[in-house]
């Protein structure tokens, strides 16, 4: 039995935080199969995974990239049949990246997709066609929730520290050396 090769690639969960909570890009695919997905890319010869993520996000969305993050998660899947434009390739390996974008109108690559849209997490989970993409979205969404919660906690702690410091300053007794400084 002939062993077929797996194409190397990346999954990119593209998101924006401009509305205060994560919104994700999903695309309606028409090339090779029909259904909803998030951006993904095959690696070109000599290209790093991060370079592939940046290249394909630009090609598939046209939006400004803020940050690309590797999630150190990988997987693979097999194609249901051999694809005419990928002879000898039986499936794909992938590495998961998230890409923060400046929110805007999504450019649609009409060769591969019919449409694209910004959606919240729950909507994306309902619409995504394949389980491996749902799993990847959950990983990124959980990471973002932790990241955003950390920022909230850090900001709250910082505010409390400032308020506590101000209360301490107000309680300082006046001194003869510098009475005006203590009144501020």
Cβ 38 vs Cβ 11: under 8 Å: yes
Asked whether the beta carbons of 47 and 9 are under 8 A apart, the reply is no
Burial of 69 (C-beta count, 10 Å sphere; 0-12/13-18/19+) = middle
Looking at residue 184, what is its pLDDT? 45
SS3 114: strand
How does DSSP assign 1-32, residue by residue?
Answer: -PPPEEEEEEEEEEEE-TTSS-EEEEEEE-SS
pLDDT over threshold 70, residue 101:
yes
Segments making up each domain of the chain, as ranges: 5-147, 156-183
Angle CA(123)–CA(135)–CA(117) in degrees, nearest 5? 35
* Confidence label for 172 from pLDDT (cuts 50, 70 and 90): low
Question: For 50-59, 76-85, 114-123, 171-180, which range has the lowest pLDDT when averaged over its residues?
Answer: 171-180
How much is the mean pLDDT over the chain?
82
Q: Quick one: tokens of 100?
A: 């923060």
Give the percent of the chain with pLDDT over 90.
Answer: 47
Is the pLDDT higher at 7 or at 36? 36
Write down the pTM of the prediction.
0.75
Sequence-distant (≥ 6) Cβ neighbours of residue 79 within 8 angstroms:
32, 86, 89, 90, 91, 92
Residue 89's pLDDT is 75
* Superfamily (CATH) of domain 5-147: Nucleoside Triphosphate Pyrophosphohydrolase (3.90.79.10)
Tens digits of per-residue pLDDT, 149-171? 766 665 666 556 655 655 555 55
**150 vs 172 pLDDT, higher one:** 150
Range 42-60 average pLDDT: 93
Q: Which residues contact 65 (CB under 8 A, 6 or more apart)?
A: 54, 57, 58, 99, 100, 101
Higher pLDDT, 155 or 90: 90
Q: Are 98 and 71 in contact (CB under 8 A)?
A: yes
Q: Is the dihedral of CA 77, 81, 82, 88 positive or negative?
A: positive
Other Cβ atoms less than 10 A from the Cβ of 105: the count is 10
Q: What proportion of the chain, given as a percentage, has pLDDT over 70?
A: 78
pLDDT above 90 (res 68): yes
The more confident residue out of 159 and 47 is 47
Query: What pLDDT is stored for residue 1 in this prediction?
Result: 43
């Amino acid at each position: 039995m002939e062993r077929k090769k797996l194409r190397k690639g990346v999954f990119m969960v593209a998101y924006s935080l401009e509305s205060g909570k994560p919104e994700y890009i999903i695309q309606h695919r028409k090339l090779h199969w029909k259904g909803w997905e998030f951006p993904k890319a095959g690696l070109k010869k000599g290209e790093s995974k991060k370079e592939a993520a940046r290249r394909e996000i630009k090609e598939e969305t046209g939006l400004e990239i803020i940050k690309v993050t590797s999630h150190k998660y990988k997987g693979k899947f097999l194609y249901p049949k051999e694809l005419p434009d990928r002879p000898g390739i039986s499936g794909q390996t992938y590495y998961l990246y998230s890409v923060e974008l400046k929110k805007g109108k999504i450019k649609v690559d009409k060769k591969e997709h019919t449409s694209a849209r910004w959606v919240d997490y729950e909507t994306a989970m309902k619409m995504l066609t394949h389980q491996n993409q749902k799993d990847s979205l959950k990983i990124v969404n959980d990471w973002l929730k932790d990241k955003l919660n950390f920022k909230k906690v850090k900001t709250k702690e910082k505010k409390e520290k400032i308020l506590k410091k101000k209360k301490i300053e107000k309680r300082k007794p006046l001194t003869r050396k510098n009475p005006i400084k203590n009144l501020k």
